[in-house]
Amino acid sequence: MNKQPTVYRQIDNRWKNLRITTKVGGSMSLGAGGCGPTCAAMAIDSLVDRQVLPTETFEWGCKNGYVVGGQGTYYSYFVPQFAKFGIRCEVVNTDDARYENHGATRRKVIHMLEEGYWIIALMREGLWTSSGHFVLVWWNGDKIEINDPASTLSARNHGDPDLFFSQAKRFWAIDARAYNRQKEDEEMAEAIYNTIADLEKFAPWSVDTVKRLCDAKFLQGSDDSKDKDGYPASLNLNNTMLRMLVVNDRAGLYNSKTKKK
């Protein structure tokens, strides 16, 4: 599962009126035409060790010829923008994907999301836009989740996969695999298990050890609550503690106290 990137809106009052003269086409305001740079800022801010705001990515895009006054962001913007921060970004498709709703591009995008990439998608006219609009996509189980830089509407931020892929034209993949793995590991380390049922579901490798330690009264829980089988219902164990208990158990450190008579 992906972790949600930072959320920014191009329409945020703090910067929506920022107007910059571009190399091509005159001036452009961030609120009107900054969806691409805002998507980039959301991903970059999550992956680097300092804050990166849409104002920074928008200014870079305008000054380097990737944002066109009165129009928006060139397709060629994303790869060099991410490269500036040492982040790998790649073009997924160069043809319009909207005509292959269940085709190869859709399968590739979903596979990359499952692997821990984030995806910037260019949407055609429909739910997300009347012309063209960039959104940042992440994966939540089997769901398309979207950071839409121009809307807080639930339908535009929690996408139905079929509808989403029917309106998406182009995709860029951002390599966030290391970030997503780290966040998942951190969440796992912080998880607390209170019952044997919790362990059976999330850490089955520890169940035998914990049951034996409970039977020997080494583990008694933080209060008197019990589950249906009489085991403590307030074990308050995390993954680090479980690994230590299992290693000690396998080394025989508890044998004299837990072996059955």
Q: pLDDT 10s digit of each residue in the chain, 261 long?
A: 678 999 999 999 999 999 998 877 788 899 999 999 999 999 999 999 999 999 999 999 999 999 988 888 999 999 999 999 999 999 999 877 665 555 889 999 999 999 999 999 999 989 999 889 999 999 987 788 999 999 999 989 987 888 999 999 999 999 999 988 877 666 666 778 899 999 998 889 999 999 999 999 999 988 989 999 999 999 999 888 888 999 998 888 887 655 544
CA 163 to chain centre: 20
In whole angstroms, give the CA distance from residue 121 to residue 165: 10
In whole angstroms, give the CA distance from residue 200 to residue 217: 20
Domain boundaries, the chain: 19-182, 191-247
CATH class of 19-182: alpha beta
The residues pairing with 123 across neighbouring beta strands, listed in sequence order, are 133, 168
| H/E stretch holding 118 | strand 118-123
Question: At residue 64, what is the residue type?
Answer: N
- 54-63 vs 35-47: helix crossing angle, rounded to 10: 120
Task: Tell me which residue of 2, 17, 38 sits closest to 148, measured CA to CA.
Answer: 38
Q: Phi first, then psi: what are they for 65, rounded to 5°?
A: 80, 15
In whole angstroms, give the CA distance from residue 129 to residue 144: 17
pTM: 0.71
